Chains A and B, each alone.
Chain A
Amino acid sequence: MTKRITIDPITRIEGHLRIDVEVDDGAVANSWASCTMWRGIERILQGRDPREAWLFTQRFCGVCTTVHAMASVRAVEDSLKLEVPANAQYIRNLILINHGLHDHIVHFYQLSALDWVDVLQIPKADPAKTASLAESISPWTGNSKEQMKFAQDKVKGVAASGQLGIFANGYWGHPAMRLSPDVNLLAFSHYLQALDYQRKALQVVGMLGGKTPHIQNLTVGGVANAINLDSQAAMNMNRLEAMKVLMDEVVNFVHQVYFVDCCAIAAMYTDWFNYGSGVKNYLAVPDLPLDSKATMFDLPGGFILDGNLRDVHKFSSASDAPFRDGVTEDVAHAYYEGKTNLHPWKGETIPDFTDWQADKKYTWVKAPRFQGHPMQVGPLSQVLIGYAQGDALTRKWTDAALATISSVSGKQVTVDMLQSTMGRHAARAIRAAMLADLAQKHWQLLVDNIAKGDTTVHNPPSFPSGEVLGVGTHEAPRGTLSHWVVVDNGKIKNYQAVVPSTWNASPRDNAGNHGPYEASLLRNPIADPERPLEVLRTVHSFDPCMACACHTFDPSGRQIAKVKVL
């Protein structure tokens, strides 16, 4: 007997993703990812000054503000072949790194941990035993019995109030929940501490960017931060040191808490390395440029097809020709008119709404394709592409994660097994651990460069007459982000943003190939169709954020699972 489950909405943050799955014999037999609201924000940019585009694009989404600002200035710079001074690269990199750390911490603890952690088991835990367990696996100083008791009391307080409050939308007591009360408590105590450390990471972004959530310091050609070691009003050593203190705290949290917790939870749920692979084509662009021409990067990019890690293709620049020429968007199953497979520079956004129709049009998300293939983007792609290329930093943290998960679980977990639901979580923790190392590295690069006497932060742009094309990329927390701009006589003629959640939430294309969310759900087990926790686990492992892909103003924020027998 086939049952159709509709989950609408699924994100716990702004946005409105709808998932439909057909369940047969306790597993997902077919799936659709759709978004319920039109995306057309880019049209606002037509006719505007390209130097101001980033101010608008960072308002696309309240979660991914800085990433859209950065991709926008990079797109305009690419159209002008404008170099960015080294100081500006390092300052931008530090903003991107700290934003990424904030985002990954929030995703793991606040947005997805409770898919695996059963809060209502916590009152049964023993805080003393939890503390000694925690101290046996990490040097973190926030693992005392008192801290565990504090966290337990918070849950008891919420439970005693008779209302679940912030925990009202979880599937507590679900048979797929498997952690002991003590491990649940440990994870939850870090859930509370994570709120402090995500904030510290954002404070670093604010110190560099002027303020958050909307940074003020970007400019096409560099940054607007005044560097003067002798001035109280400018970026000086006191400010840089204050930033370093905050950053070091975040780095420790990521290495000693997030990375360890993620490995421990993965070790308790090793069966989730068997589900959720889906689309095994991976895409990432290189990021964190190390020089003003952006020829060298700390984070590698490229692509892998069919999960074949032995055949990785490398991108040599952030707008490398294979990427620049390889991206198209298909609208066969999306609510748009027009031709399929348009390149973003020629992209159209003409709405053509129909009802949700499983075999026709069913979403507002276009289907981006790379060289015709659906691609998965995000930390898993970043890690697999780096690992396959032999990138030392990726290997260091990936090998550490695999060794920890294997030793705690007693099962051999390999890099190939990361192509799974749990692998996406592990890869995000690996990526965060790498970014934490790079936070310290890029701070030092900036300080050393300033110490050499270089205070340049900006190269002024000048716009030619006629038409120029640019693509700006950023390997954002959720994956490959690209902004595509056509500038004509110094004014924006066309602008398209191909965002990570568009790649991952893409619908079927003209050839009927599923997008990554859809494909990843196939064959997932479903213990209880009325409470489809397993669907949430796999979809949340991508870190969906539909606000960029499609904005929405539907409010309810309640997870609603509707089940119907077909």
Chain B
Amino acid sequence: MQFGNVDWWLLAPSLSVCIVALLAMLLEPFLSEKKQEIVGHFSWIGLIVALYFASQQIGVKSSTFGGMFLADDFSQFFNLIFILGAILTIFMSIDYLKKKDNNHGEFYPLILFSTDGMMVMASTSNLLVMFLGLEIMSVALYVLAGFARTQLRSTEASIKYFLLGAFATGFTVFGIAFIYGTTGSFEAMDVVKHFQQGGGVDSFLLIGAALLIVGLGFKIAAVPFHMWAADAYEGAPAPVTGFMSAGPKAAAFAALLRIFSFGFQDMQAVLEPLFWILAVLTMTVGNIMAIRQNNIKRMLAFSSIAHAGYIMIALVVGTAESASAAALYLLCYAVTNLGAFMIISQIDASSAHEEVTSIDNYSGLGRTKPLLAILLTVFLISLAGFPPTAGFMGKFVLFKSAVIDGHYAIVILAVMNSLVSVYYYLRVVVKMFMSDPEAKPVLVPALPAFLVIALLVAVIAVFAIGIYPQRWYPFDGLTIFSLN
């Protein structure tokens, strides 16, 4: 479909998400307070349409808008993560918002706008377009973090996330400006050209790269840019926290991989020690801080920091194999973490105006609500990386790609870190199955239909990737996508 030199068909997935978001926003004020969930239903149906368009494009490798918008294996795989994450988030939010007495339809367009921003981010190697996507994603997220606006904690999360996020944005723009100053182009792939034409490791290029690492490192919550993560994850409503740890993290990693593993591949030798230190710091600090947490959302916030550290191994290695391994890891992490947050939001929904997210609230859950407890155990075990779950497969593929390239030390450190993480994941499991219910146990509401569907999708995905990964991931040395 051509009109004005633009191949609109390539834009179909992200354009459909954008149109659905606008229509959902238009629909919202015409509905009474009790009918707001219709916006949610409209939104997930629209996302399934977008998923259809995205699936129709698999195998296409093309670009439009003068090369600024790309459709390749890389963007298609990440689009799958984003759309799936958004659908699961909407499924778990429809009843959560009602029970939390916070039933405002704006929630769904915001999720959609954010998803659209992520899709733009993953579908370009142009730094300016990437930045545009980053902002579309982030601005919606700042609002979503403070969506429970009567709750002080939620407002705090929003403000902290916004102020630090805006600050990090400055670093990103500054980094882009330095790279533009050196190569004369916003195209990350032109850095490759810069080296081909005999340009060396320019000091300004290095400053630009460092500033971009700071700006995007903030978005993935890499240590030492992780300060916002714990408070933002803890304060935001449970489904939003799940959404934040799935999609936006994957989008920021998509941008990092595109820029550094593809564009800056000639500078890998210079940047490798930097990524090495960042990765080890991130996984270690994340895991050690998670041990002491008594709030399950805060614990998973630190666990999410630790997982960002594992995924950063792909940036250390910088090969096509490791980039696709990171993509698979992000998919595994997204479904697992969203699954865990479905249970958390279901427990949290037992009180309309109070947060029910302390780990103590989970004691004896194995007796009072065995199904929820077993499902949460599955997701936590997947996060810890036990077979036969997706979490194991993600770690295995990622660590394998690092070992093949000869990075033994960081893999040993990562495996040791995973052992530490087992302690705090299993602490929740022990609490659920081996301690008595509290004197006044939480009154967990009945499972709503949409949450059941979402849980089914998450559990099936966790085991499907964990048991039969060949179906989703080519193991014979091939990659989901190739460099260039």
Same complex origin of A and B? no
Residues of B at the A interface (CB closer than 8 Å) are none
